[in-house]
Amino acid sequence: MIALVDSNDFYVSCERVFDPRLEGRPVGVLSNNDGCVVARSAELKALGVAMGAPMHLLSPAIRRQATLLSSNYALYGDMSRRVNLVLGEFSPDVEVYSIDESFVGFAGHAPSRLEALGRRLRETVGRDTGIPVCVGLAPTRVLAKAANRVAKTSPALGGVCRLDAESAATRRVLEGLPVHALWGVARRSAERLALMDIHTAWQLREADPKRIRRAFSVVLERIVWELRGRPAILLDDLAAPRQRIMVSRSFGRLTGDWRDLQEAVRQHGARVAEKLRRQGSLARAVLVFLRSDPHRLGERQYHNSVVVPLAGPSDDSRALLEAAGRGLAAIFLEGVRYQKCGVMLMDLVDVECHQLSLLASRDETARGRDRRLMTAVDRLNREMGRDTVRFGLPRQDTAWALRCERRTPRYTTRWNELMRVKVR
Amino acid sequence: MSSPRPSLARVPAAAEPRPAGSSQPLLGCRVRAGFPSPADDHLDVEIDLHAHVVRRPAATYFVRAEGDSMLGDGIHDGDLLVVDRSLEPLPGRVVIIAVDGEPTVKRLTRRAGRTFLEASNPCFAPMPLEGRECQVWGVVTHVLHALPGAAP
């Protein structure tokens, strides 16, 4: 059996842990640059605020009532880590699927005891982290996802729902579940399924897998098997190291300033290089892209990207940043106001697989020195806080710095932002 | 991993006594020339204050105290508190508790079947919990008080 553990309104829940006054009040968390609402408490949903609603379109009445916060990713990341730490006590087999969802393998437990285990897991996560979670138990991931949905929407279940492959309850749930609400079914596929008279998850389960595969894809066929209770989506499918890594961001305001772009590319490049080293890969090429704001009428439109190959596979920030800088110089156009830029590392290879040719191509001591330098940079940035060591000197008040006026303190990752408690 | 072939049984078990003169397993450490250190047989791991204080990392949070109503428990204004959310809020323990949404540090006590929040400073009267909206946030396990010359 597999459990899908999903945090309820995760970002909002994180904020509430450290500010109990937010409990029971409408709370929203805004996207990067405070653009639109990306997380809503139940109370904010009840006010009719839609997911993704642009902040500047919210009525003054709602803005007065609701607490709208900038996203505090340092906090959400740390709370997610804590939740998964607790999950690790329940099973050696925890796969983090997203910041607020993890699959937990429960192989070898008696089915009759699973619900009690799920409840204990839920209580322990709640006690240790303050984050409310729901647990969906099922023999496959797709069913676990559906079970989780039931757990979330039926308060009577106490946050835990189990769906067996063959049961009347499972049939009832799947009959009430439209296909587009299934994990892994895109909206376009759902529209085409409707033409085949397949509207509910149950109808999809009963469809001929071979026919589904011919008409759609092997992925949708696997979903049919999963709905029947046969695991078809592998645990390792998502765990493989990523083949490309990207960091991109919108500027807080449009900018045509060369130095703004240079700094943004340098910053994104440094971040993406850090990610590269964390997953133990080397990149063979660097892609830089930039674009103007396509939704801004009357603005000169331009978008471009360039791939800069590296002399050899590398994870050295200096080599990557140098390549990114050359790429930017090649595509930068004077007189355009840019909205977004980013750096992607491509053609990744494992450090281990590549060790031999590296030693052949470069002096071993120089290579070791570079490696130690990068390790030291990463460690300083991890332990002393982001941007302790930077490449080049960014200016203050640059256009690309994130807008985050309403961000709460990073309670768990910064010494000078700890939660303050009155002792009165 | 395991082969079903019965020939496996012929492989000698590791625990079998080795015949005299056969090769011995290598020692798992580097052999140095010169005198051995007299401490080698008594190697311990480094003392780790963090691990000592943080028993349950997922549930442990650091918070900053503001105010002086708990001086009797050694909590000064500006001290760093170690809070374990996984511990039970038993009477006698110092807890962080949100009263009407406002987190505060107090000692839990029980007298005559009623639960009170007590400060350890006589200027503050005990506060009965009944009829109040309150939620225990965690149990304070340690206080880190910086003396002159130390970083706060």
Token couple for A154? 């039926």
Q: Where do the CATH 3.40.1170.60 domains begin and end in chain A?
A: 9-72
The per-residue b/e assignment along A380-415, b for 16 or more CB within 10 angstroms, e otherwise, is ebeeeeeeeeebeebeeebbbbebbeebbbbbbeee
Measured CA to CA in angstroms, residue A145 lies from A128, A163, A212 at distances of 24, 10, 21
Whether A170 contacts A179, CB under 8 Å: no
Report the C-alpha gap between A335 and A102 in whole angstroms.
Answer: 46
Per-residue model confidence (pLDDT) at position A242: 61
Q: Where do the CATH 1.10.150.20 domains begin and end in chain A?
A: 76-228
State the fold for domain A76-228.
DNA polymerase; domain 1 (1.10.150)
Q: Where do the CATH 3.30.1490.100 domains begin and end in chain A?
A: 245-354+364-384
Q: Is the pLDDT of residue A278 over 60?
A: yes
Q: What number does CATH give the domain A9-72?
A: 3.40.1170.60
* Mean pLDDT on A176-197: 89
With a cut of 70, list the residues of chain B below it in pLDDT.
Answer: 1-34, 36, 40, 43
Count CB-CB contacts under 10 A for residue B126: 14
Q: How confident is the model at residue A139 (pLDDT cuts 50, 70, 90)?
A: very high
Contacts of A283 (CB under 8 A, 6+ apart): A276, A310, A313, A314, A315, A320, A345, A346, A347, A348
Is A245-354+364-384 a CATH 3.30.1490.100 domain?
yes
Min Cα separation A355/chain B (Å): 25
* Mean pLDDT on A160-164: 95
The larger pLDDT score, comparing residue A25 to residue A246, is at A25
Catalytic residue among B37, B69, B86, B120: B69
**Which residues are A288's β-sheet partners?**
A306, A343
Per-residue model confidence (pLDDT) at position A398: 52
Q: How confident is the model at residue A393 (pLDDT cuts 50, 70, 90)?
A: low
Looking at chain B, which residue has its C-alpha nearest residue A79?
A: B58
Is the minimum CB–CB distance between A20 and chain B shorter than 8 Å?
yes
Q: Is B37 a catalytic residue?
A: no
Contacts of A412 in chain B (CB under 8 A): 61-62
Mind listing the pLDDT tens digit for each residue in A218-258? 889 999 999 999 988 865 544 445 667 888 888 878 888 89
Per-residue model confidence (pLDDT) at position A86: 97
Q: At what angle do helices A364-383 and A258-278 cross, to 10 degrees?
A: 100
State which amino acid sits at residue B135: Q
End-to-end CA distance of chain B: 56
Weakest-pLDDT range from A75-79, A183-187, A261-265, B49-53 = A183-187
Query: Residues of B near A (CB-CB distance < 8 A)?
Result: 56-59, 61-70, 75, 77, 80-81, 85-86, 96, 98, 101-105, 124, 135, 137
User: What are chain B's domains?
Assistant: 19-52 (no CATH), 54-144 (2.10.109.10)
Mind listing the pLDDT tens digit for each residue in B51-84? 999 999 999 999 999 998 999 999 999 999 999 9
Q: Is the pLDDT of residue A142 over 90?
A: yes
Contacts of A421 in chain B (CB under 8 A): 63-66, 81, 96, 103-105
Is A36 in a helix, a strand, or coil?
Answer: strand
Per-residue model confidence (pLDDT) at position A353: 53
Write down the ipTM of this complex: 0.73
H/E run at residue A78: helix A73-90
* Mean pLDDT on A59-73: 92
Min Cα separation B108/chain A (Å): 14
